[in-house]
Amino acid sequence: MAREDAGTDYLYQIKLLSALRSGDPARIHTFLTELSKDGRKSVDGDSELGAAALHLAIRCASTDTITLLLSHRAISPSAVHPPGSGTTALHLAASLARADVVSLLLEQDGIDDTLRDAQGRTCLEVAKGKDTVRAIHDSRTFLTASYRSLLRTYILSPSNAAPPGALIKLLSSPRIRHVDLSYLDESSGRTLLHEAARRKDLRLIELAVRAGADVFARDRKGHTVSESAGKDERVKVFLKQFTNQDTSLLAKASTEPPELRGYLNKYTNVAKGYNTRWFVLKNGAFSYFRHQDDEGIACRGSISMKTAVLHVSPGGAGTRFEVHSSPSRGHHGVQKWYLKANHRVETARWTQALQASMQWARREAEGERKSGESDATAYSGTTRGLASKGTVARVKSIVSGSFGSTADDVSGDDNTQVQEPPDKDAPEPEDHEHEREQEHSSMAESTEQGPPHGGSFELQGNALVAQVELTSQLLSQVPGGNESPRAAELKRAVEDTFASMHGMLGEYVQMVREREEWYRTALERERERQNVWEESLQAVVKEGQQMEDELRMRFRRRSRTLDASFLTISQGDGFFALAGSEASAGDAPSPGALNASPESISTPKGPLMVARRPLSQQASRSPIRAISASSVRQAPPSPGFQEAEAFVDTDEEDEFFDAIETNNLPNLVVNKSLLSNDDHLWITVHRNQYQGYLKLRERLAIDTDNRPPMSLWAVLKNSIGKDLTKISFPVFFNEPTSMLQRMAEDMEFSECLDAAYAENDPQKRIAFVAAFAMSNYSSTIGRIAKPFNPMLGETFEYVRLDKDYRYMSEQVSHHPPMSACWAESPHWRYYGEVDAQNKFMGKSFEIRPTGIAHAELLLPETRAPGYPKAKGPHVEGKVIEHYSWKKVTTNISGFILGSPTIDHYGDMVITNHRTQDKCVLTFKPRGWRGKDAFEISGYVADAEGNVTYEIAGRWNSQLVARSVGSGIGQLHPDVKVSGPSSPAASMEYILLWRNSEKPPAPFNLTPFAITLNDCGDTLGPYVAPTDCRLRPDQRAFELGKYERANDLKNKQEEYQRATRRAREEGRLPPHKPRWFLAQTEPDTGERVWTPSMINNELEYWLERDKVWEGKQKEQPASWEGVDRIFIEDEP
């Protein structure tokens, strides 16, 4: 191939660039053949074409392609291009942050990483990126380790043995300059020169000295190299020749601080004179140690080169010099070191290094001062400032290794640093915060796997710049010939355009690099913080778990040592004593009383009283405590009774709750409404439209929960303190229900409201209403999966013909998320809202409901005259008894350790707004005792505060009540619950609620929850088009199509965001709930979402009747005023 000079044959270079980018060995071998024929060398002694090809490949080609080029004998790994620039292949690869190529080049024979470019910089000084710098340091560390291993082998070899060939090769390598040849072998304490002099190996001595070995080095015993030679004058003369030819005295331009180590003689005092000490000059500090082995362990003094002053003494044959420290601010003392070397050359070496170090330290100090002064006007880091005068010239320095460029091409301009990415023109409105949260969360997985395109991103930018540059240069070589002025003008215009485009492209590439570096640094810094935080949090959680386990173990061990009869039962004279060593001396009876026989103890005249622990943990505030006190008023506790209570074992307390779970309570009264499910069939209008609810399904379409395993902690770790509704979870954390359906699970035990209606006693009625209020928590056991968040305007309906009620709900607000519901029956109504404050606290979820739930019993007027009359069909002659309550706090913990648990705690206060009676249920938090789980205690009090009923149980099994005064003390664990002769046998217990059978099911769904998302052919056509059963992503999830569900969920959320933007821009009217209206409830004074009514009938059911009737007549029928909220997509 006929070519002009390789530096100007841009057509050849474009073809070469195309071949290198393709990575095709066949095409590349064509150019390698040309290299073999080309015999021209550059001014640096390298093949001109070979150097150009290697540099071009480093900019644009893959590592495999570069390996192929390096295998060619005409291409040197230290090739310089452009000629005379000093820019080696290693300089170029390091400046482009191609760590893989840097490692590859450093593995090549003949590589020289000590070379400097035209600006005097090494490859390490121009290196970009932590990985690149690490690759260079790792290679040098390996080189040092290899040298020390070879030195060890040489020292252990016989005295007449030749040095290892690998050692000779290493000493001949230019990279040996990075190795400290003054290193002392750990076992012998000798350097390489000492060992060579001891063996009188003149060839190795010369090779080591030329490689940079210090002829003034001393071994561990302080002997010089000449002393190691013994009496052999030939070796001493040979060493003296090299002493006068110290190459280290040749000044080398470097931006790094000088480093020097060696022994010097330091003047101590008149008595001791000069003593040999080990001195180290490093990083602008001059320090000394007693011995070389003490370096880094016991420094005896140090002087900062920033304030040091050097004096060279004229006497002493030029071997003496002094180093003084100038007094700094706050310090008035001055150090003066009087030093002496063994040779004037050694003195010159130290003084030169000290002067260079002082200059470096003062430059650094001046730079820091100027940097501090210019902080206020520093370059902001935005890339707007790049478009200034001389931009094209600076951009050319960015095009690393470009043909015809200067040595500035290697490093670019480091003076301009991006401190922060450019801000947008205007901040985003707060309404888009949730959208940003979802977008950021959806990117979490991709950021863990690294940015897209990987290494090809940088290669693509480099190749694009090179292509434009070569095209521009090629265009300038197009022969003009006899062209017209117009053609010449057009040619110049095209050349100017390409030059301008070249500059703009280079500028843009630099902008991208700077931004990428900024984001990469910020990401690494954030990941480091996150890793530290995660490790700390996991350590705290594990430590807390260990403490709980230890506390539980100690409690069980101690409880086994306590006596079964812990307290003494005595006559009503106030005597309470501990039966064992736990009794305190102040509370113990007299020795006579302890030794008295059973016959000598008088029989109590009144009823026996059992001293025991109060029911509530907050006994001082609980009315239950007052009940207990009144029950034992005949026997006031002694001063030591409070101490005795603290030692009471709680096994008996657990016995009572166990008795409730095992149905072992005697005289248990069960309301018939809790047992019978009479079908009253009060829904008579178009009753056939509810055929889909006659036969409810009993299982899901899938048999097992086979969701892909994912780490919940990986999603939550960046969301501590955030509202749960603003955390976007992948669909794999969901269960196949909507939050509206989870809300509908409150209706599972509607028979409790039926039982309340059937009671004539208002105290019992409120107890059954309370049982209904707490019953829904039984469905939360093991339900850690998250329901689908409803779309704004989403609805849900549910009908139970066997239990005589209808239920419907609507998502009335999106931010904050809020759902309203309404259920109606011939005997009661239930309505309310779900509006909770949700937060992730790092170790647990906290869900604190703020919405109020309401229940209305529709009593016959004869049972409650004076109550407000009920309105609507099927309620003639009935009045309203109104109740309200708030739900308790829910906590989910343990997911960091992989064993999540759900718990509920707090007080639930149910108020009868007609009689002002109250029922308080205390949900006991799960403690370190497993027996405490699910526990509930409570009471019913009238308007005057008199407690009439005591309540106890667990929210996963049963709830039981007992009338106050019908038994001994409180309804509490120490009540004897078995045996016909037990005092408890005469008591009456009222069963308020009992949990249903809940067999294992996917996602831990209850049998009731399984029925909620069923949507058969007899139901789907008649429900509202906004019903959550018709939501495609939820349906796909229920069918086990999880990946499909995730895609549909993303589409559904994007559709919702588009709808919201349309409303914000005025293209759609503002959203208004279709079936509910916010009003103020007169009894509570709080907000309540009341359903839309027409003639005292729910508009939703009237609209459903209309649609069903139209479809039965095969007439067009649609839901009036209902917007489309779901995407049109089938799973």
In this predicted structure, what is the pLDDT of residue 690?
A: 87
Minimal CA–CA distance to 434: which of 1061, 1100, 1082? 1061
Contact 311, 322 (CB under 8 A): yes
In this predicted structure, what is the pLDDT of residue 1024?
A: 95
β pairing state of 320-325 and 958-963: unpaired
Is 141 domain-assigned? yes
Minimal CA–CA distance to 1: which of 35, 47, 45? 35
d(CA 1012, CA 743): 11
| Same domain flag for 244 and 268 | no
How do residues 670-701 score in pLDDT, each as one tens digit?
777 776 655 454 555 556 788 889 888 999 98
Average pLDDT rounded to a whole number, residues 70-77: 84
Contact 50, 72 (CB under 8 A): yes
Number of domains in the chain: 3
At residue 823, the 3 state secondary structure works out as strand
Whether residue 105 is predicted with pLDDT greater than 50 in this model: the reply is yes
274 Cβ neighbours under 8 A, 6+ residues apart? 265, 266, 267, 268, 340
Minimal CA–CA distance to 883: which of 812, 832, 835? 832
Whether residue 174 is predicted with pLDDT greater than 80 in this model: the reply is yes
Whether residue 442 is predicted with pLDDT greater than 90 in this model: the reply is no
Minimal CA–CA distance to 20: which of 29, 33, 9? 29
What is the average pLDDT score of the chain? 75
Of 249, 271, 286, which residue is a domain's last? 249
How many CB atoms within 10 Å of residue 69?
Answer: 24
In this predicted structure, what is the pLDDT of residue 400?
A: 36
- Helix/strand/coil percentages in the chain, nearest 5: 40, 15, 40
Highest mean pLDDT range out of 65-79, 472-486, 1090-1104?
1090-1104
In this predicted structure, what is the pLDDT of residue 1032?
A: 93
Is 1055 domain-assigned? yes
Question: Who has greater pLDDT, 394 or 283?
Answer: 283
Whether residue 66 is predicted with pLDDT greater than 80 in this model: the reply is yes
Is 405 domain-assigned? no
Average pLDDT rounded to a whole number, residues 76-89: 87
Question: Who has greater pLDDT, 166 or 680?
Answer: 166
Minimal CA–CA distance to 650: which of 512, 546, 574, 556? 556
| Same domain flag for 172 and 310 | no
In this predicted structure, what is the pLDDT of residue 600?
A: 37
Average pLDDT rounded to a whole number, residues 114-130: 89
How do residues 1000-1051 score in pLDDT, each as one tens digit?
999 889 999 999 999 888 888 899 999 999 999 999 999 999 889 989 998 9
How many CB atoms within 10 Å of residue 641?
Answer: 17
Of 518-522, 788-792, 1027-1031, the one with minimum mean pLDDT is 518-522
In this predicted structure, what is the pLDDT of residue 1102?
A: 92
Look up the CATH number of the domain holding residue 1073.
Answer: 2.40.160.120
Q: How confident is the model at residue 328 (pLDDT cuts 50, 70, 90)?
A: low
Average pLDDT rounded to a whole number, residues 99-109: 90
Of 367, 394, 428, which residue is a domain's last? 367
Whether residue 705 is predicted with pLDDT greater than 50 in this model: the reply is yes
Whether residue 205 is predicted with pLDDT greater than 80 in this model: the reply is yes
Average pLDDT rounded to a whole number, residues 160-176: 89
The residue type found at 1130 is E
- Tell me the DSSP string of 586-625: GG---HHHHH--GGGSPPPSS--------SSTTGGG-HHH
Q: Is 163 exposed, middle or buried (0-12, 13-18, 19+ CB in 10 A)?
A: buried
Q: How confident is the model at residue 57 (pLDDT cuts 50, 70, 90)?
A: confident
Of 249, 274, 295, which residue is a domain's last? 249
Residue carrying the six token digits 């109504």: 829
Minimal CA–CA distance to 1024: which of 816, 810, 854? 810
Of 541-545, 776-780, 957-961, the one with minimum mean pLDDT is 541-545
Q: How confident is the model at residue 809 (pLDDT cuts 50, 70, 90)?
A: very high
Question: Who has greater pLDDT, 207 or 545?
Answer: 207
How do residues 379-419 score in pLDDT, each as one tens digit?
333 333 333 333 333 333 333 333 333 333 333 333 333 33
Look up the CATH number of the domain holding residue 320.
Answer: 2.30.29.30
- Paired tokens of 404: 């015809």
| Same domain flag for 237 and 306 | no
d(CA 1076, CA 1093): 9
Average pLDDT rounded to a whole number, residues 216-230: 82
How do residues 485-509 score in pLDDT, each as one tens digit?
766 766 676 676 677 677 667 777 7
| Same domain flag for 240 and 267 | no
Q: What percent of the chain has pLDDT over 90?
A: 26
**Number of helices (H), then strands (E), in the chain:** 31, 29
| DSSP state at residue 746 | G
| Same domain flag for 155 and 298 | no
Whether residue 277 is predicted with pLDDT greater than 60 in this model: the reply is yes
Q: For residue 654, what are the β-bridge partners?
A: none
In this predicted structure, what is the pLDDT of residue 886?
A: 94
Torsion, Cα 154 158 161 166, to 10 degrees, reads -20
53 Cβ neighbours under 8 A, 6+ residues apart? 16, 20, 31, 35, 69, 75
Question: Who has greater pLDDT, 700 or 973?
Answer: 700
Q: Which element (helix H / strand E) includes 892?
A: strand 889-893
Q: How far is CA 322 from CA 100, 361, 552, in A?
A: 48, 18, 71
d(CA 27, CA 22): 8
Q: Is 322 exposed, middle or buried (0-12, 13-18, 19+ CB in 10 A)?
A: middle
Q: For residue 828, what are the β-bridge partners?
A: 857
Of 23-27, 204-208, 534-538, 840-844, the one with minimum mean pLDDT is 840-844
Question: Who has greater pLDDT, 797 or 10?
Answer: 797
Is 545 domain-assigned? no
| Same domain flag for 204 and 227 | yes
Alpha helices in 416-483 (DSSP H): 433-442, 444-448, 456-476
d(CA 752, CA 4): 99
Of 182-186, 594-598, 786-790, 1043-1047, the one with minimum mean pLDDT is 594-598
Q: Which element (helix H / strand E) includes 824?
A: strand 818-824
d(CA 931, CA 650): 9
Is 359 domain-assigned? yes
Q: How confident is the model at residue 751 (pLDDT cuts 50, 70, 90)?
A: very high
- Paired tokens of 856: 């209305």
CA angle 641, 647, 650 (to 5 degrees): 115
Of 144-148, 149-153, 447-451, the one with minimum mean pLDDT is 447-451
CA dihedral (129, 132, 134, 140) positive or negative: negative
Is 531 domain-assigned? no
d(CA 518, CA 526): 12
| Same domain flag for 242 and 315 | no
Average pLDDT rounded to a whole number, residues 27-36: 76
In this predicted structure, what is the pLDDT of residue 26?
A: 81
Contact 799, 808 (CB under 8 A): no
| Same domain flag for 857 and 974 | yes
Look up the CATH number of the domain holding residue 206.
Answer: 1.25.40.20
| DSSP state at residue 924 | P
Whether residue 339 is predicted with pLDDT greater than 60 in this model: the reply is yes
In this predicted structure, what is the pLDDT of residue 483?
A: 67
Question: Who has greater pLDDT, 87 or 548?
Answer: 87
| Same domain flag for 938 and 1020 | yes
In this predicted structure, what is the pLDDT of residue 430?
A: 42
CA dihedral (671, 672, 676, 678) positive or negative: negative
Contact 752, 674 (CB under 8 A): yes
| Same domain flag for 866 and 945 | yes
Of 177-191, 384-398, 432-446, 460-474, the one with minimum mean pLDDT is 384-398
Average pLDDT rounded to a whole number, residues 566-578: 38
Is 793 domain-assigned? yes
Q: What percent of the chain has pLDDT over 70?
A: 68
Contact 264, 340 (CB under 8 A): yes
How do residues 629-644 score in pLDDT, each as one tens digit?
333 333 344 444 343 3
Minimal CA–CA distance to 221: which of 244, 198, 239? 198
| Same domain flag for 271 and 312 | yes
| Same domain flag for 803 and 932 | yes
The whole-model pTM stands at 0.52
Whether residue 371 is predicted with pLDDT greater than 50 in this model: the reply is yes
Q: How confident is the model at residue 768 (pLDDT cuts 50, 70, 90)?
A: very high
Is 131 domain-assigned? no
The residue type found at 579 is A
- Paired tokens of 323: 């180093």
194 Cβ neighbours under 8 A, 6+ residues apart? 217, 219, 223, 225, 228
The residue type found at 1058 is A
d(CA 615, CA 920): 13
At residue 582, the 3 state secondary structure works out as coil
How far the first Cα of the chain sits from its last, in Å, is 62
d(CA 124, CA 816): 55
In this predicted structure, what is the pLDDT of residue 434?
A: 47
Of 227-241, 877-891, 1023-1037, 1076-1090, the one with minimum mean pLDDT is 227-241
Domain that holds residue 333: 260-367
How do residues 34-49 score in pLDDT, each as one tens digit?
776 665 554 444 567 7
β pairing state of 786-788 and 734-738: parallel
- Paired tokens of 241: 């020749």
